[in-house]
Amino acid sequence: MTTPTYIVGIDLGTTHTVLAYTKANLADDEQPEIHLLEIPQIVSPGEVKAQPLLPSFLLLPGAHEVPEGGLALPWQTDMDYAVGEYARTRGAELPNRLIASAKSWLCNRGVDRTQAILPWDAPADGRRLSPLEASARYLAHLRNAWDQQMAQADADLRLTAQELYLTVPASFDAVARELTVQAAQLAGLPNLTLLEEPTAAFYAWLEAYHGSWREQITVGETLLICDIGGGTSDFSLIEVSDEEGNLVLRRTAVGDHILLGGDNMDLTLAYAMRAKLAQKKTNLDNWQFRGLVQSCRKAKERLLNHPDLESEPLVILGRGSSLIGGTIRTELTRQELEAMLLNGFFPIGPATAYPERKPQVGMREMGLPYASDPAITRHLAYFLSRQAAGEESTATTPYPSAVLFNGGVMKAEPLRGQVLDALRQWSGNEALRELPAADLDLAVAIGAAYYGLVRKGRGIRVRAGAPRTYYIGIESTMPAVPGIPTPLKALCVVPFGMEEGEEEHIRSKEFGLVVGEQAIFHFLASSTRKEDAVGEEVDDWGGEIEEVATLEANLPSSDQETGSALIPVWLQSKVTEVGTLELWCVARTSDRKWKLEFNIREQPNTHIASDETSDEDWLDAAATQEQALA
Amino acid sequence: MNAKQNFTTQALLATIILNAVLLGAIYFMAGESLQASGQLVSLLVMGVVLTVILAGLIVFLGGRAIDAAMTAALASVPTPAPAFKETPTPAPKVERTPTPPKPAPVAPPQPAPTAAALQMLAILQREGRLIDFLQEDLSLYEDEQIGAAVRSIHAGCKGALAAHVTLEPVVAEAEGSPITVAPGFDAHAIRLTGDVAGEPPFRGVVRHRGWRAVKVDLPQLMANQAAQSVVAAAEVEVER
């Protein structure tokens, strides 16, 4: 295989996908230049425009909704689905044909992610795809766009032959990462490496300040990466330390995948404005409401970027051709904006104010597990406090001393100011500062491309490793009691921070697997217990460990074993170079090994119990909310 | 130019050879009698001089004829209209735009010239509802109502225009500031009003900076879309 010419970073975001690339082989004194690929996409039937951002929306039109041949692309004329700008705008009019937020479905454990379930509310005879297939189509669109623009004549310049880095949220667990890699393989991109998004944003910052970043951070500091995009919020902590005279950066903590972002804010404003109009006896239909959401987004941006404006008019033009006669007017005042956004989403409360957990109602609608509490600062407080809970050495919360912001929502200066004020109040550190960043939409893709250069030795590497501690659940040997689930012990198989390429053999515990039968293991994870070593058994884990998935292995019988022979095996864990997790059962008496596969089908709500069950975790794992836009 | 050079060399050769033959013939036929009367040398000299003059005349006239023919040929070929192709500009460090030359995508057959105009109208209608606005009868409304709607239309159309056409002023000077129009100015770019007399340079005041389209970046039209006459599709809301 020829050496790659380009290093490519792909940000497969919840609302936007971006591809950045740079030359792989640079001379020593050459400065790297990172470019964005202009991705051709349908903007209107029959019109193709190249833009650097590809909205992560997929439209599956029925037979009569799009003119025939209207979705033709330069590389394929007989397209029957659309990805990108047109999918988003037309899909807003046809919500049961639109797949949005496929990425958030990839880490939703409550559904079978390989079955065709999206769009979630498609009619019975409507077209459907699985979240895996939808993500694969976004990547395939990128691959075709790249091949068409960069690799017309030369097969070595195709995307499959380049060095590829795909970003995933740091909060994605091992199963979601595995699915992302599968989606890439479905899209025809088998060779890739995963990189976490907050780390990628940090690399983009390192690249932007390539000469002077060492002056901006000091040894002993903790940096918070606060990534709030259109649909998700993600937090990470990076520690700056000194090892043998060298500056070392290590990613020490990741948060949960919180489905809360800019779209929630726009909807909140729109609902409030709709209520205001209803008081004046003006009711909006669905089309007008969508127009109101768009106007609210623009008015919000204007008010946040111009602190001297007191209010911003909101105008919804009349439907049909009597624009002016049917125009509906209202305005968004700064007071309302502050009350809803700043106090609703970024309230500055005490450091112990954690997200409210709404009690669960018996029947709930399945869907994406949206966060029940919209206050992002409370989620941040919870994330920071959990880091202290895991460490036994220090009882204090490791507050950061500098914050790097990422994501479209954080472009607004007042919102950044709120987060900084909250952190300053909690930590008592008035000198808590912001690391200035540019390109908040594009930083993740640019950082991923820069990471490729870093791996070649061009810059400092942020040590990451496994973002969670992973365990296998072992049932204690106890007599069965009907109605009470057998308590599990957790055996640590992957310690926190296990680096890529490392392998561990867990010889302390042996399991007996029955030949010919399927073996099922419970797979558990913790983001706060960082001190557990490989092979350690944990009896009493409180709220710190939660179930991720089940692992299965099918042992085919060979010639030697017949019937239901029992084979003693021990476990072997490995973090691959790609960034995914592999667990193997290795037979003690022979050389045979069997790989444990993640069961990505629907997880029944197995109420697993440690010795101390807490209803809170169960609610946490299953908290859903009715989808905001009906 | 090659035609001219060819013609020059060929004409010179032909003239010299033929006149040499003529002089040779005269010498052979009447050489002795001319030599006797001492006019041979003068005859030969006259012959050479006349050869040179004849060659020069032929080359001059022939060259002019070739030039005239060539300009006539060029004028009859229609000059293609200036096409606005997206020129890949080298990316400054801050702006992340693609630098390497993009090979042209497989181009669909050229759509009709009005297609681009209709496409622009369709974009302005889709993003800013400009056509709906222009089709309205404004006499029915108060200024205040119109003003409110226009803000929204302005925002939409402005965004659409900026995304597809990059405009810059024709003259760099601000409005109301003095300007000197140099000789040889492009009358398409600068329109003179007022007391215009004589020859440039003219001194005047800028009343409108003008607009020049620097870049036009319309979405690519795929060939199989036949309904070019539809600027905005009718919308029908389907009920159960």
Q: How far apart are CA A546 and CA A539, in angstroms?
A: 13
Could you tell me if residue A387 is inside a domain?
yes
Given a cut of 60, whether residue B88 has pLDDT beyond it is no
- Report pLDDT digits (tens) over A544-565: 888 888 888 777 766 555 556 7
**Which residues have a Cβ under 8 Å from the Cβ of A400 and sit 6 or more positions away?**
A221, A222, A223, A224, A237, A423, A427, A432
Do residue A431 and residue A485 come from a single domain? no
CB contact under 8 A, A322 and B136: yes
Q: How far is B126 from chain A (nearest CA, A)?
A: 9
For residue A316, list its beta bridge partners.
A328
Given a cut of 90, whether residue A294 has pLDDT beyond it is no
Residue-level pLDDT at A139:
96
Residue-level pLDDT at A526:
87
Do residue A240 and residue A181 come from a single domain? no
Could you tell me if residue A201 is inside a domain?
no
Q: Which segments of A407-502 are extended strands (E)?
A: 433-435, 462-463, 469-475, 488-494
Residue-level pLDDT at B170:
93
Rg (Cα) of chain A, in Å, rounded?
Answer: 25
Do residue A232 and residue A111 come from a single domain? no
CB contact under 8 A, A321 and B222: no
Q: Which of A149, A313, A438 sits opposite B151 (nearest CB)?
A: A313
Percent of chain B surpassing pLDDT 90: 23
pTM over 0.80: no
Could you tell me if residue A457 is inside a domain?
no
Do residue A225 and residue A371 come from a single domain? yes
The torsion of the CA quartet B128, B129, B130, B133, rounded to 10 degrees, works out to -130
Q: How far is A113 from chain B (nearest CA, A)?
A: 31
Residue-level pLDDT at A389:
61
Residue of B nearest to A69 (CA): B224
pLDDT confidence band for A43 (50 / 70 / 90): very high
Using a 10 angstrom Cβ sphere, with 0-12 exposed, 13-18 middle and 19 or more buried, the burial of residue A35 is buried
Residue-level pLDDT at A557:
64
The last residue of a domain, from among A438, A459, A479:
A438
Could you tell me if residue A148 is inside a domain?
yes
- Report pLDDT digits (tens) over B179-217: 999 998 888 899 988 888 888 888 999 999 999 999 998
Do residue A376 and residue A413 come from a single domain? yes
| Contact residues, chain A, for B152 at CB < 8 Å | 295, 315-317, 327
| Contact residues, chain A, for B105 at CB < 8 Å | 40, 74, 148-149
Q: Show the tokens assigned to A270.
A: 């729109």
Q: How far is B134 from chain A (nearest CA, A)?
A: 10
Q: Which of A77, A149, A329 sits opposite B148 (nearest CB)?
A: A329
Restricting to A residues 51-80, those with a Cβ less than 8 Å away from any Cβ of B are 52, 67, 69-70, 72-74, 77
Tokens 């112990």 sit at which residue? Answer: A352
Residue of A nearest to B221 (CA): A47
pLDDT confidence band for B168 (50 / 70 / 90): very high
ipTM topping 0.85: no
CB contact under 8 A, B119 and A36: no
Alpha helices in A119-190 (DSSP H): 131-150, 174-186
What is Dmax (Cα atoms) for chain B?
125
**Which residues have a Cβ under 8 Å from the Cβ of A542 and sit 6 or more positions away?**
A610, A612, A614
Q: Which of B99, B105, B136 sits opposite A35 (nearest CB)?
A: B99
Q: Which of B98, B126, B129 sits opposite A37 (nearest CB)?
A: B98
Percent of chain A surpassing pLDDT 90: 29
CB contact under 8 A, B148 and A150: no
Do residue A381 and residue A475 come from a single domain? no
Restricting to A residues 33-52, those with a Cβ less than 8 Å away from any Cβ of B are 33-38, 40, 43-49, 52
- Report pLDDT digits (tens) over A330-386: 989 999 898 888 888 998 988 888 888 766 555 555 677 777 888 899 999 989 888
- Report pLDDT digits (tens) over B7-25: 778 877 888 888 888 888 8
Do residue A220 and residue A187 come from a single domain? no
CB contact under 8 A, A67 and B129: no
Question: A624 vs A110, A335, A359, A620, A621, CA distance in Å?
Answer: 10, 31, 11, 9, 9
Q: Which of A70, A298, A316 sits opposite B225 (nearest CB)?
A: A70
- Report pLDDT digits (tens) over A60-97: 998 888 888 889 999 998 999 999 999 998 888 888 88
| Contact residues, chain B, for A53 at CB < 8 Å | none
Do residue A276 and residue A364 come from a single domain? yes
User: Residue A368 is part of which domain span?
Assistant: 216-438
The last residue of a domain, from among A438, A455, A477:
A438
**Which residues have a Cβ under 8 Å from the Cβ of A612 and sit 6 or more positions away?**
A540, A541, A542
Residue of B nearest to A32 (CA): B93
Q: How far apart are CA B55 and CA A310, in angstroms?
A: 90
Could you tell me if residue A400 is inside a domain?
yes
- Report pLDDT digits (tens) over B224-236: 555 577 888 888 8
3-state secondary structure of B138: helix
Could you tell me if residue A210 is inside a domain?
no
For residue A568, list its beta bridge partners.
A512
Do residue A125 and residue A33 come from a single domain? yes
B239 or B128: which leads in pLDDT: B128
| Contact residues, chain B, for A317 at CB < 8 Å | 129, 132, 149, 152-153
| Contact residues, chain B, for A150 at CB < 8 Å | 100
The last residue of a domain, from among A158, A176, A191:
A191
CATH (domain of A339): 3.30.420.40
Residue of A nearest to B129 (CA): A323
Domain boundaries defined on chain B: 2-76, 114-187+199-216
CB contact under 8 A, A46 and B126: no
Of the candidates A75, A3, A5, A6, the residue with the CA atom closest to the CA atom of residue A36: A6
| Contact residues, chain B, for A315 at CB < 8 Å | 148-149, 151-152
Do residue A223 and residue A169 come from a single domain? no
- Report pLDDT digits (tens) over A183-229: 999 999 988 999 999 999 999 999 998 878 888 888 888 999 999 98
Residue of A nearest to B164 (CA): A49
Tell me how many domains chain A contains: 3
Residue of B nearest to A326 (CA): B149
pLDDT confidence band for A181 (50 / 70 / 90): very high
In total, the C-beta contacts within 8 angstroms joining chain A to chain B are 108
Residue A290: DSSP 8-state:
H
Do residue A376 and residue A232 come from a single domain? yes
